[in-house]
Structure 1
């Protein structure tokens, strides 16, 4: 069995994530569709695309998402907002729909509300689906307004004895702003997204807007019979060598669902050894993995939720596990400074009234390369149409 070392894996993934060099604008569908681009915090997808494409401004990106609508934002893997090609909606949405006796992604936390209401998941999802066509005719600003508007729509569909419970304060941390019904809707919106019933519209200031897939793209979502296969292939191509367990973690789905999806492409896979353990690759990727191209860019300044950093085997990117908590946090990850695909430091930016301040932490002395990193910071700030106030190290 072929043994693959960490450096080869990093170089392979730099290439499959389109980070080995910047490409032209006509590559955008392939780049956004490689494995999707998470958009939390808002703007994360813009930073990810900036690191992969040359000559693409913020205005260009907004046009792709909001005017041309060749890109689409919707809740996808792990229930996160993700930007992907509209033409691959079945892969990034329909493929997440669970099979028989499989749980929906991002709905595990709903159990407290279901117990409180003494109502089953499927019944509440069915009632919400009756209300979702409202979005075919309107756009709703802000997630909290969306939750509560839809919760009010579900209310008359509930048994009389459940309505006061539905309107009770939420048990999920915001009882002054959210009802139990609003919390239930919040969880159930992910299944609705996978069914093509809700997508993100154009952002208004700091507020997202929401409408239906049909309203936004003037067509209904058409599930593809091989959508799950395509999604697993994307995962293997971008994150291989890998395992079904890593697929479950990346998708946020049950191991049962991940195993079902994995088995659908099992004939296309080949085992390899990584750090003495068995992992799998697409057979067609073997030559590239064994002899990956050298990147044209040695240094990269990635945003905190860049797809490249979404690897489940984090030791491949950063061998010192004591530093992992500095890179991958529960919320608000910092950006990562990469040298030849390996994380060598972190960075954060802070918006001020007159521009942006950047703070960097490098774990080893990089004095000889410091100017190269500073140049990347300046390039990023120009992209953001801001003024660089200072770099703190």
Structure 2
């Protein structure tokens, strides 16, 4: 089957609840997107709210309070909100990369695989049936003389040395205590937590979920999204093969990629989109395929979206392609179109700014285009 990139982009807009927007709750949006990046709390909520026809600001906090959603380090080592009953699949596949066994990781963080294993045991024991702040958890763990050398790393706000723990189902973020981060065990926090399945069981489900939002896609695209390419190629190919006739290969203007077989007919029949959407920082529309996907973001404009210190700017999406960025400046939303990009109709931009205001619970700002 041969399709065009215009069709792919239009289909992704549909699948990601962008055209049309959805009546689904926040947890359903998080599920469809295979999680939302949550390094910045407000951006995670906005990712979901902008996809709702009638934004419900209480959805994300409610999902966390009801323990339907789980916050933890996941894709690419960044904080994500995940659906609690789906998190185990993604975490299992991430853990299969065993990044903490690599010599560069050990040199950078000063911990051997054996020490990470001891840390897993110590943290699991400290958190059993409890929710602890970072300070409380580190104090408990550092009491073990064998782990005391890790104390400075454990207190770091980046939490890099802790990341192998959620990938093994040992730790996740708990309810915040004011400005303080807390930690818990997923098994104590998520109702019905079944632990992490084996990667061979989890990977086909995780891949199918990814293809359902960001397909057609290649194994390399899935690998880059999940772990910046750290998954081993042989099992990765095997996991795609294990999907069997659940997936079909399509030709997208000369590039071979996979899509779920159940979506092939819809994809083949979709018409290109001309819609205009304003999406927030760290939005999954660009993070799913990655900022280096030239079919979503032209390479010459990548630096305008993927900025210093890992910041992903709010984006202007026209017809499924990123054509500009925007920012809030005082009482105005300032839209900056990329050189050569046609300015969208002001009516479409105003409608988007009105929806943005409803999602953020603010009054409608004016629109400026540069």
TM range (shorter): 0.7 to 0.9
Query: By how many angstroms is 1:336 displaced?
Result: 1.0
Q: How does 1:232-311 map to 2 (within 5 A)?
A: 232-252=207-227, 253-256=230-233, 258-292=236-270, 298-310=275-287, 311=289
Query: By how many angstroms is 1:204 displaced?
Result: 4.6
| Structure 2 runs not aligned, ≥5 long | none
Q: Give the Cα separation in 1 of the matches to 2:63 and 2:168.
A: 23
Give the counterpart of 1:386 among 341, 362, 368: 362
Confirm or deny that 1:216 pairs with 2:189. yes
- What SS does structure 2 have at the residue aligned with 1:280? strand
More deviation, 308-317/204-213: 204-213
Confirm or deny that 1:83 pairs with 2:47. no
Is this contact kept in 2: 1:235–1:247, CA < 8 A? Answer: yes
Residue number in structure 1 paired with 2:305 = 327
Residue number in structure 2 paired with 1:47 = 46
Q: 1:129 to 1:388 in 2, by over 3 A?
A: farther
More deviation, 233-242/375-384: 375-384
Query: By how many angstroms is 1:305 displaced?
Result: 1.6
TM-score (norm 1): 0.79
- Taking only aligned residues, the RMSD between alpha carbons, in angstroms, comes to 3.1
More deviation, 341-350/217-226: 217-226
Query: By how many angstroms is 1:56 displaced?
Result: 3.5
Is this contact kept in 2: 1:358–1:392, CA < 8 A? Answer: yes
Pairs aligned (count): 359
Residue number in structure 2 paired with 1:111 = 106
Residue number in structure 2 paired with 1:123 = 115
More deviation, 363-372/376-385: 363-372
Q: 1:131 to 1:57 in 2, by over 3 A?
A: same
Q: 1:218 to 1:281 in 2, by over 3 A?
A: closer
Q: How does 1:1-393 map to 2 (within 5 A)?
A: 2-25=1-24, 28-34=26-32, 35-66=34-65, 68-98=66-96, 102-104=97-99, 110-113=105-108, 116=110, 120-141=112-133, 146=134, 149-159=136-146, 163=148, 165-166=149-150, 179-180=152-153, 182=155, 186-217=159-190, 220-224=193-197, 226-252=201-227, 253-256=230-233, 258-292=236-270, 298-310=275-287, 311-312=289-290, 314-318=293-297, 320-330=298-308, 331-349=310-328, 357-363=332-338, 364=340, 369-388=345-364, 391-393=367-369
Q: 1:288 to 1:108 in 2, by over 3 A?
A: farther
| Structure 1 runs not aligned, ≥5 long | 168-178
- What SS does structure 1 have at the residue aligned with 2:120? helix
Q: Give the Cα separation in 2 of the matches to 1:208 and 1:131.
A: 15
Query: By how many angstroms is 1:219 displaced?
Result: 5.0
Is this contact kept in 1: 2:47–2:279, CA < 8 A? Answer: yes
Is this contact kept in 2: 1:133–1:197, CA < 8 A? Answer: no
Q: Give the Cα separation in 1 of the matches to 2:59 and 2:335.
A: 29
Query: By how many angstroms is 1:239 displaced?
Result: 1.9
Q: 1:51 to 1:357 in 2, by over 3 A?
A: same
Q: Give the Cα separation in 2 of the matches to 1:127 and 1:58.
A: 37
- What SS does structure 1 have at the residue aligned with 2:165? helix
